[in-house]
Amino acid sequence: MKKLVVLPVLALMLCAGMKSEVMAEEKKTYVPETPKLESDVMTPEVLWSFGQLGNAELSPDGKTVLYAVTYYHIEENKSYRELYTIPAKGGESKQITHTALKESGAQWRPDGQKIGYLYAKDGETQLWEMNPDGSDAVQITEIEGGITGFKYSPDQNHILYTKAVKLDDDIHDLFPDLPKANARLENDLMYRHWDSWHDYTYNHIFIADYGKGNISEGLDILEGQKYSSPDKPFDGLDQIAWSPDSKQIVYSCKKLTGKAYSLSTNTDLYRYDLETGSTENLTEENKGYDKSPLFSPDGTKLAWTSMARDGYEADQTRLFVMDLKTGEKTNYSEGWEQHAGHLSWSADSKSLFFISNIHATDEIYQLNLKDGEIKRLTDGVHNYQMAIELPDGKLLAQKVSMSQPAELYVVNPKNGKDEPLTAVNKGLLDQLEMGAVEERWVKTVDDKDMHMWVIYPPHFDPNKKYPTLLYCQGGPQGTVSQFWSTRWNFQMMAANGYIVVAPNRRGLPGFGMEWLEQISKDYGGLNIQDYLVAIDELAKEPFVDNERLGAVGASYGGFSVNYLAGHHEGRFSAFISHCGIFNFDQMYVTTEEMWFENWDIGGPYWDKSNQVAQRSYSFSPHLFVEKWDTPILVIHGEKDFRIPYTQGMGAFNAAVLRDVPAQFLYFPEENHWVTSAQNGIVWQRVFKQWLDKWLKK
């Protein structure tokens, strides 16, 4: 391992300077006051005023919870993230940071004496540490180019950190005499992903000595390798784990590049030994995803999540455990049709807690390793997002619902009951009237049972008739569960005066693998019929105005809207399609993750001998534009590389050329989502204006 050169005097000067700056910043506050509302019905501005809680971490002694809250300042069109602590047994929360910049990646040092976090004081993100009360902030790393994440070794002798490493030549490397050239020269696929062009860098893991002064460099354990860990674009530090004895690291990585990378989901778990520098593939036999490694507290076992089939990103997420002494691997999901995620070990290493979706809610489960029994611990109208065992055997959990943003709770695993720990948004929620959320089951065209949610407007009057929206889910394999969003927020839609029906149609998890897998290669088939059944069933209610029905959705839901526009047989009076597929042929050759297209569509459009694929392409919405006759709002972001914005242009242009009333809401700086406050409010306002124009006439 590379040794570090420390300048003690300089380090002391830096610490003193940084301490005084933090003290000055503590005189300010960047957390907005809870607004006093003029109405108890939610508005887009109120929706973007909620604090967004996340990144909860339990202190090593189990007594204190560290968490972050992100707040949006609408006028400034920016967000602030602050750190808080609260006693695990309940009590007052304490804000421990007060800065204009976002603290992220916060975690307890293993001895509990410090909190480490990422902070970009001078433009480069570095590791900082502070006391648990927020005092005495000190910069720990001085890594050139900054870092993207870190983890302490359990013995505190090392840290690992991640950073972007440039390994590919850009246009200026190729032609150094042309410094003002602005071009790219591509030779392979995956030159852009999700919302970013390949920046010629790869995420690498570094190991450095800790506790011997400021850290300026570490050992790159992927040196020279054109692979990323954590994998881009969404994987985080949960894909890297220290062994309890601090002698090994296990990390998830897809060691493929270019076209091969775009065609495969085959990530593996690799074990790196600090003493020998050797790396071993632990999951070479498995050809799908292997992710989220987690050592047991006693160091004898490794747990992780795994998918069996290469190229199928919606395969069952199975729970695996490896005996590190014998090498034996056990699939504890065998014979069980649900997904497992967000794993955490019990303190005695005898069981695992995890989250799984069942019938459109995310619940806490416990696996007993001795007998393999999987036990459901909670039941309710909610989504749990994590569960960590507390010293008294209860669970620290994060919970969200359609009617409340995420908060922290303490759950009793014996009876599933929970008690709130935080109340980040109580001031706003106390002023609002939320619409009722109702669970229903209906029969499909092939006589199967389908679950759906019905969300009613606040102050609902069953003696009135309401315009009603069919919500079409994206994914396509993403459950319509109890989620909260600043965009597809069911309470916001209901607050606009609409009843919303949100069916868990074919292709969604939580209802068995047969239900989940039916949608692949059948985009225009049974799941579309499921949508029509859902709206037809609700339209029978006396409080639904079946002359004022709309259909809305994003991504696969946007495709669904585009397809329904040519097949709805006069049911709907308005459509909204956000980032929806319009032309399957163009989608196949302009998207980035080819494994997705090949699995769900069946192959390229030019393979005329592939009848499965040819059937899929026959569902392309652009083939049915001659039947479009209903007003449609099309929304798209330019940085959406999953479904390129030209798909939205195609749908809008076709509608206008057909003389169908249409609007195109285009965001040059947004991706598949809408992430900035003012753009988000524009989205909500235009969404409402369009529906009101055609459904409230």
- Three-state DSSP at 677 gives helix
Tokens found for residue 254? 């897809």
96-99: list long-range contacts, CB under 8 Å, 24+ apart.
Answer: 96/130, 96/132, 96/133, 96/134, 97/130, 97/134, 98/25, 98/26, 98/27, 98/28, 98/29, 98/30, 98/134, 99/22, 99/25, 99/30
Distances (CA, A) of 111 to 60, 126, 132, 157: 7, 21, 11, 12
Asked if residues 482 and 383 have their Cβ atoms less than 8 Å apart, the reply is yes
CA dihedral of residues 256, 611, 648, 643 (deg, nearest 10): -10
Q: How far apart are CA 86 and CA 93, in angstroms?
A: 4
- Three-state DSSP at 572 gives coil
Query: String of b and e for 369-380 (b: at least 16 CB within 10 Å)?
Result: beeeebeebbee
Out of 555, 577, 616, 620, the active site residue is 555
Q: Which residue stretches of 250-304 are H helix? A: 258-263
Q: Which amino acid is at 183?
A: A
Q: Is the dihedral of CA 159, 162, 168, 169 positive or negative?
A: negative
Please return the burial class of 672, using the count of CB atoms within 10 Å of its CB with bins 0-12, 13-18 and 19+.
buried
Out of 195, 235, 545, 640, the active site residue is 640
CB-hemisphere CA count at 13 Å for 431?
Answer: 15
Q: Which amino acid is at 617?
A: Y
Asked if residues 405 and 425 have their Cβ atoms less than 8 Å apart, the reply is yes
229: Cβ contacts below 8 Å, ≥ 6 apart: 162, 203, 204, 205, 222, 235, 239, 240, 251, 252, 253, 270
Q: How far apart are CA 119 and CA 150, in angstroms?
A: 12
Helix (H) or strand (E) holding 174: helix 171-174
Tokens found for residue 59? 């202190």
Other beta carbons within 10 angstroms of residue 238's beta carbon come to: 16
Strand order across the beta sheet in which 240-242 lies: 240-242, 248-253, 268-273, 279-281
Asked if residues 159 and 105 have their Cβ atoms less than 8 Å apart, the reply is no
Q: How far apart are CA 511 and CA 518, in angstroms?
A: 12
Question: Measured over all CA atoms, what is the biggest interatomic distance in the chain, rounded to whole angstroms?
Answer: 78
Helix (H) or strand (E) holding 528: helix 526-538
Distances (CA, A) of 670 to 39, 189, 473, 614, 679: 30, 23, 20, 33, 8
Active site residue 640: yes
Supply the residues annotated as catalytic: 555, 640, 672
